[in-house]
Amino acid sequence: MSHISSRINETERLAADIERIHELAEALLPHIGDAPEIPPTSSEAAERLSALTAILHELHPADVATALEHLPQKERALVWALVKPEEDGDVLLEVSEAVRESLIEDMNEAELVAAVEDMEADELAELADSLPDKVVAEVLKDWDDEERAQVRAAMSYRDDQVGAIMDFETVSVRADVSCEVVLRYLRRFDSLPDHTDKIFVVDDHDILQGVLPIRKLLVSDPDDLVENVMARDIVRFSPDDDAEEAAAAFERYDLVTAPVTDAANKLIGRLTVDEMVDVIREEGEADMLNMAGLQEEEDLFAPVLKSVRNRWFWLAVNLGTAFIASRVISHFEHTIAQIVALAALMPIVAGIGGNSGNQTITMIVRAMAMGQLSGIQALHLLKKEIGVALVNGMVWGSVMGVISYLLYHNTGIALVMVAAMTLNLLLAALLGVLIPVTMEKLGKDPALGSSVLITAVTDSGGFLIFLGLASLFLI
Amino acid sequence: MSHISSRINETERLAADIERIHELAEALLPHIGDAPEIPPTSSEAAERLSALTAILHELHPADVATALEHLPQKERALVWALVKPEEDGDVLLEVSEAVRESLIEDMNEAELVAAVEDMEADELAELADSLPDKVVAEVLKDWDDEERAQVRAAMSYRDDQVGAIMDFETVSVRADVSCEVVLRYLRRFDSLPDHTDKIFVVDDHDILQGVLPIRKLLVSDPDDLVENVMARDIVRFSPDDDAEEAAAAFERYDLVTAPVTDAANKLIGRLTVDEMVDVIREEGEADMLNMAGLQEEEDLFAPVLKSVRNRWFWLAVNLGTAFIASRVISHFEHTIAQIVALAALMPIVAGIGGNSGNQTITMIVRAMAMGQLSGIQALHLLKKEIGVALVNGMVWGSVMGVISYLLYHNTGIALVMVAAMTLNLLLAALLGVLIPVTMEKLGKDPALGSSVLITAVTDSGGFLIFLGLASLFLI
């Protein structure tokens, strides 16, 4: 973190640090590889090694994580070996899952146990999937029953559920005590949990009664009873709620923390805004990656074959749909043989349909992610998109019609062009609405490969419409 | 917000409310239009009107905003007229800019003044661009000099700068007082600003000395001096810092609020996590919309012509590039006339290049948004992407080579297919890295139309490579 005297901004400072780490690591690699425990032979290398170590020891674990994400595999291994062991756990929690795996591969069992044994239950649960089972068992052995139960509970939820990202650091008080008593109670803590902006008010059975915002506690009369100061109208979540929906609620109501309760309204944990920010960031990224046909977030510096694996599925789908489009065209080979100009014009019809369809589908996927779309409105939207397609078809269709005429001096070709473009834009609008709405109805992620799918439809459809009209009217 | 006794989750509750609002508004429209001040004639309509009003009066302003985003224009106007006037301002702040304009159009000057006159300076500054100048002038007339200066300051920054989204509600204390004194000072407030998780520590000239986290204040000995409890190593921002970079820092360091200081380190405002969450959400959306060639966030229910305006630019670009691709093909009309099968196979070559190029460019745009990419690493990435392209080209090229052979029983066509697919995938990898890296170097947003551009290259390039090879070797 920057010292108060420096005037360089956070991002510039971090970028400069990462650049320096990269340079030092690159220069050191030939000397020590990823085994910095062996003292380097040259004094220059020794200097570099101590400079690199000094930078890493000064950085916030989140910055170390960002630096590791930036580094090619070998430099990453070298730098990782130099990170303070007591920060290993924090760094593992901060890096993306793809990079986390590459870091864990570089650690032996004892190092892993040391890195995670002091974690909170929810943090261990988050890492558990990437850790060797032996390490998790080893760590849990020394924990008490309550903590073990918390880890098991957190691991029993899917990653996209509130239960998997909540933590267990709740501070709670009874409703019938005074604010003075609460303040004295808080003073007994060594430190309050991160992000504590409210105290949870529960009865003898831990049933949630309300929340006491710290902001209110600080300005209230010390003699006031908690029950007279607390808010009863609260936003709280259930562990099997959807994490993205919880994040949207955090965003709508500007929350910092919120209680998580079970079916009987018993307080079992809390959500904090920092986790929700990660959910929102990942949601946006996942939609973007999914639309483009990438299966998951990819370590930028992953080995080639790992990247091939992440991408092959949608490439295969694309090849399949391209094959269908190809068969559509080959069905009209006879027509093309007679008017070769059609072969040159057909990609224009397909292309504008794909582009326009992608605009529509992107807008709708985004609206769905924001929870802005329900069934009734889909019909309304469909009408609007068809209107947009008609206008665009007439305008751009005419433009291309005129251009085709100027190129080929053939009125028939020009008119077929106008009609085909308009029809393909209408098809793009129709499917641009129907594909995501249907995916959502089927309980699938509407972003998933939607770009590949709409392009498939507008390609095959565009060729079929254009060549079909040409066969009917021009031959 | 849900009452503590209910077990339905936030999202289901909101969706049900919106559905109900939509039904009521739709049924009411024929009776009263958007002028609910005229009492409806039928008792059924009167009942619906009071039911709708009751729902709207119970909802949190953020939920009213979400509901308005969901509604077609006419229903939106009807519902907007029923919202409690004292909540108008909060709702205007919550809705997207596109919808905000449609709401402001429905209000007269007096209503607008009433809606915004009690806002904070930063809130008025946020709305000022959408408000008629007369309204802003009218409101500022009654404000004091300090507030007017704050509004002017906030308006002097671009929307993507920290200065435009910071607020001025800072609570600050001196370093040489005791924690007890701070607690007593805080008790004098009617309420503390939203999200207050730390008190700013300043000297007599408002120069920032440190921050006192409330979490620490609550557990510290009342006699401790602030200077012994406060943190000196703090993350703080300058008003001309980039908002997205500030949001990334909030995310890295899990911040709730952070001070904003001028060049002399004088405290002038603060950033809060709720604004940062909006920045992160908008950033993800903007990248997604930009890649697909939408100029900006669009009101889902905008009139057709408005939507056409938002989309025409990239459609025109697409049409231009499709035209170039078409000219490439027409250059080879002679070849196609001899082997018509080429017309059917060429979209496969172009298609797989486009898909693969989009995968690469999406991954890189995302990495750039996360600040994960610098110049040096671009070369490393390029090598990797070319490796991926070679593997994919050989695998999928061979698959399509075999299929082409089975279809056309022509070894030449099959071999040209394998070679063209591999070369086009290499082209896609090369440009998939170079386009965003160059955009970034030129200071442009790398997401902007990147999908349209890469598809243009792989289309024209794919046709050129495939038909070129065919002309060389098959004719």
pLDDT band, residue A97 (cuts 50/70/90): confident
Asked if the Cβ–Cβ distance from A340 to B345 is below 8 Å, we say: no
Asked if the Cβ–Cβ distance from A336 to B340 is below 8 Å, we say: yes
- Answer whether residue A4 shows pLDDT above 60: no
Distances in Å between the Cα of A290 and the Cα atoms of A307, A446, A447 are 15, 9, 6
Average pLDDT over residues A379-386: 88
Is A216 near chain B, with CB under 8 Å?
Answer: yes
pLDDT tens readout for residues B117-138: 989 999 999 999 899 999 999 9
Could you tell me what percent of chain B has a pLDDT over 70? 94
pLDDT tens readout for residues B84-107: 999 999 999 999 888 999 999 989
Whether A172-273 and A1-160 are alike in CATH topology: the answer is no
pLDDT band, residue B2 (cuts 50/70/90): very low
Shortest Cα distance from A289 to chain B (angstroms)? 7
> In CATH, what is the architecture of B1-160?
Alpha Horseshoe (1.25)
Q: Identify the residue among B10, B66, B272 best suited for mutation to test binding to A, counting A beta carbons within 10 A and taking the highest.
A: B10
Which residue among A195, A347, A372 sits closest to B459, beta carbon to beta carbon? A347
Give me chain B's average pLDDT, please.
89
**Apex B92 CA angle, B88 and B93, nearest 5:** 120
Is A262 near chain B, with CB under 8 Å?
Answer: no
Is B7 near chain A, with CB under 8 Å?
Answer: yes
Is B348 near chain A, with CB under 8 Å?
Answer: yes
Beta-strand relationship, A208-213 and B208-213: unpaired
Residue that is written with structure tokens 């890296």 in the block: B437
Query: B285 to chain A: which residues are within 8 Å by CB?
Result: 284, 366
pLDDT band, residue B6 (cuts 50/70/90): very low
Is A175 near chain B, with CB under 8 Å?
Answer: no
Beta-strand relationship, A172-173 and A198-202: parallel
Cα separation, B248 vs B253, whole angstroms: 9
End-to-end CA distance of chain B: 73
Could you tell me what percent of chain A has a pLDDT over 90? 66
Average pLDDT over residues A164-182: 95
Asked if the Cβ–Cβ distance from A11 to B263 is below 8 Å, we say: no
Is B215 near chain A, with CB under 8 Å?
Answer: yes
Query: A95 to chain B: which residues are within 8 Å by CB?
Result: none
Is A288 near chain B, with CB under 8 Å?
Answer: yes
Which residue among A7, A15, A322 sits closest to B352, beta carbon to beta carbon? A322
pLDDT at B273: 96
Q: Tokens in use for B395? A: 């695998």
Average pLDDT over residues B301-329: 89
Query: B308 to chain A: which residues are within 8 Å by CB?
Result: 388, 391-392
Query: B302 to chain A: which residues are within 8 Å by CB?
Result: 384
Q: Identify the residue among A22, A184, A215, A342 best suited for mutation to test binding to B, counting B beta carbons within 10 A and taking the highest.
A: A215
Asked if the Cβ–Cβ distance from A3 to B326 is below 8 Å, we say: no
Cα separation, A170 vs A181, whole angstroms: 18
Return phi, psi of residue A353, to 5°. Answer: -65, -45
pLDDT band, residue A6 (cuts 50/70/90): very low
- Answer whether residue A2 shows pLDDT above 60: no
Asked if the Cβ–Cβ distance from A300 to B373 is below 8 Å, we say: yes
Which residue among B288, B377, B459 sits closest to A366, beta carbon to beta carbon? B288
Taking the CA atoms of B435, B440, B442 and B445 in sequence, report the sign of the dihedral they define. positive
Is B329 near chain A, with CB under 8 Å?
Answer: yes
- Answer whether residue B420 shows pLDDT above 60: yes
Asked if the Cβ–Cβ distance from B280 to A285 is below 8 Å, we say: no
Asked if the Cβ–Cβ distance from B292 to A358 is below 8 Å, we say: yes
Q: Tokens in use for A441? A: 């109805």
The residues, any chain, with a CB within 8 Å of residue B426's CB and separated by 6 or more, are B386, B389, B390, B393
- Answer whether residue B203 shows pLDDT above 90: yes
Beta-strand relationship, A267-272 and B172-173: unpaired
- Answer whether residue A457 shows pLDDT above 50: yes
Asked if the Cβ–Cβ distance from B289 to A241 is below 8 Å, we say: no
Shortest Cα distance from B370 to chain A (angstroms)? 9
Cα separation, B464 vs B326, whole angstroms: 10
Q: Tokens in use for A429? A: 């609008």
Shortest Cα distance from A131 to chain B (angstroms)? 23
pTM of the model: 0.84
pLDDT band, residue A8 (cuts 50/70/90): low
Interface of A with B in 383-442 (CB under 8 A): 384, 387-388, 391-392, 396, 399-400, 403, 407
Residue that is written with structure tokens 């809390």 in the block: A270
Cα separation, A249 vs A251, whole angstroms: 5
pLDDT at A38: 63
pLDDT tens readout for residues B219-275: 999 999 999 999 998 899 999 999 988 999 999 999 999 999 999 999 999 999 999
Give the Cβ contact number of residue B65 at 10 Å: 24
Cα separation, A21 vs A26, whole angstroms: 8
Shortest Cα distance from A344 to chain B (angstroms)? 5
Cα separation, A404 vs B144, whole angstroms: 65
Which residue among B250, B292, B459 sits closest to A362, beta carbon to beta carbon? B292
Q: Tokens in use for A107? A: 């650690």
Choose which CATH entry (1.10.486.10, 2.40.170.20, 3.10.580.10, 3.40.50.720) describes domain A172-273: 3.10.580.10
pLDDT tens readout for residues A31-41: 876 555 566 67
Give the Cβ contact number of residue A10 at 10 Å: 23
pLDDT at A283: 84
Any idea where the domains of chain A sit in the sequence?
1-160, 172-273, 304-474
pLDDT tens readout for residues B51-91: 999 999 999 999 999 899 888 888 899 999 999 999 999 99
Average pLDDT over residues A119-147: 91
Distances in Å between the Cα of A381 and the Cα atoms of A373, A394, B240 are 9, 20, 40
- Answer whether residue B305 shows pLDDT above 90: no
Which residue among B215, B232, B304 sits closest to A388, beta carbon to beta carbon? B304
pLDDT at A284: 81
pLDDT tens readout for residues A348-376: 999 999 999 999 998 888 777 766 566 66
Return phi, psi of residue B302, to 5°. Answer: -65, 155
Return phi, psi of residue B58, to 5°. Answer: -85, -25
- Answer whether residue B357 shows pLDDT above 90: yes
The residues, any chain, with a CB within 8 Å of residue B80's CB and separated by 6 or more, are B68, B103, B106
Of the candidate ranges A312-321, A336-345, A463-472, the one whose mean pLDDT is the lowest: A312-321
Average pLDDT over residues B307-332: 91
Query: B373 to chain A: which residues are within 8 Å by CB?
Result: 70, 300
pLDDT at A7: 54
Nearest Cα residue to A10 out of B266, B199, B267, B250: B250
pLDDT tens readout for residues B21-49: 988 998 998 887 655 556 667 788 889 99
Nearest Cα residue to B301 out of B103, B112, B130: B103
Average pLDDT over residues A448-461: 90
Shortest Cα distance from A226 to chain B (angstroms)? 16
Cα separation, B196 vs B212, whole angstroms: 11
Give the domain A304-474 fold: Tetracycline Repressor; domain 2 (1.10.357)
Asked if the Cβ–Cβ distance from B343 to A333 is below 8 Å, we say: yes
pLDDT at A206: 95
Q: Identify the residue among B12, B71, B218, B229 best suited for mutation to test binding to A, counting A beta carbons within 10 A and taking the highest.
A: B218
Cα separation, A235 vs B4, whole angstroms: 8
3-state secondary structure chain B: CCCCCCCCCHHHHHHHHHHHHHHHHHHHHHHHCCCCCCCCCCHHHHHHHHHHHHHHHHCCHHHHHHHHHHCCHHHHHHHHHHCCHHHHHHHHHHCCHHHHHHHHHCCCHHHHHHHHCCCCHHHHHHHHCCCCHHHHHHHHHCCCHHHHHHHHHHHCCCCCEHHHHCECCCCEECCCCEHHHHHHHHHCCCCCCCCCCEEEEECCCCEEEEEEEHHHHHHCCCCCEHHHHCECCCCCECCCCEHHHHHHHHHHHCCCEEEEECCCCEEEEEEEHHHHHHHHHHHHHHHHHHHHCCCCCCCCCCCHHHHHHHHHHHHHHHHHHHHHHHHHHHHCHHHHHHCCHHHHHHHHHHHHHHHHHHHHHHHHHHHHHCCCCCHHHHHHHHHHHHHHHHHHHHHHHHHHHHHHHHHHCCHHHHHHHHHHHHHHHHHHHHHHHHHHHHHHHCCCCCCCCHHHHHHHHHHHHHHHHHHHHHHHHHC
Name A198's bridge partners: A213
Cα separation, A421 vs A268, whole angstroms: 58
End-to-end CA distance of chain A: 73
Asked if the Cβ–Cβ distance from B315 to A192 is below 8 Å, we say: no
Query: A2 to chain B: which residues are within 8 Å by CB?
Result: 234-236
Is B3 near chain A, with CB under 8 Å?
Answer: yes
Residue that is written with structure tokens 């509600």 in the block: B169
Shortest Cα distance from B278 to chain A (angstroms)? 8
- Answer whether residue B172 shows pLDDT above 90: yes
Give the Cβ contact number of residue A427 at 10 Å: 22
pLDDT band, residue B324 (cuts 50/70/90): very high
Burial (CB < 10 A; 0-12, 13-18, 19+), residue A431, is buried
B356 neighbors A275 (Cβ within 8 angstroms) = no
pLDDT at A177: 96
Is A234 near chain B, with CB under 8 Å?
Answer: yes
Is B191 near chain A, with CB under 8 Å?
Answer: yes
Is A276 near chain B, with CB under 8 Å?
Answer: yes
Which residue among A219, A250, A350 sits closest to B190, beta carbon to beta carbon? A219
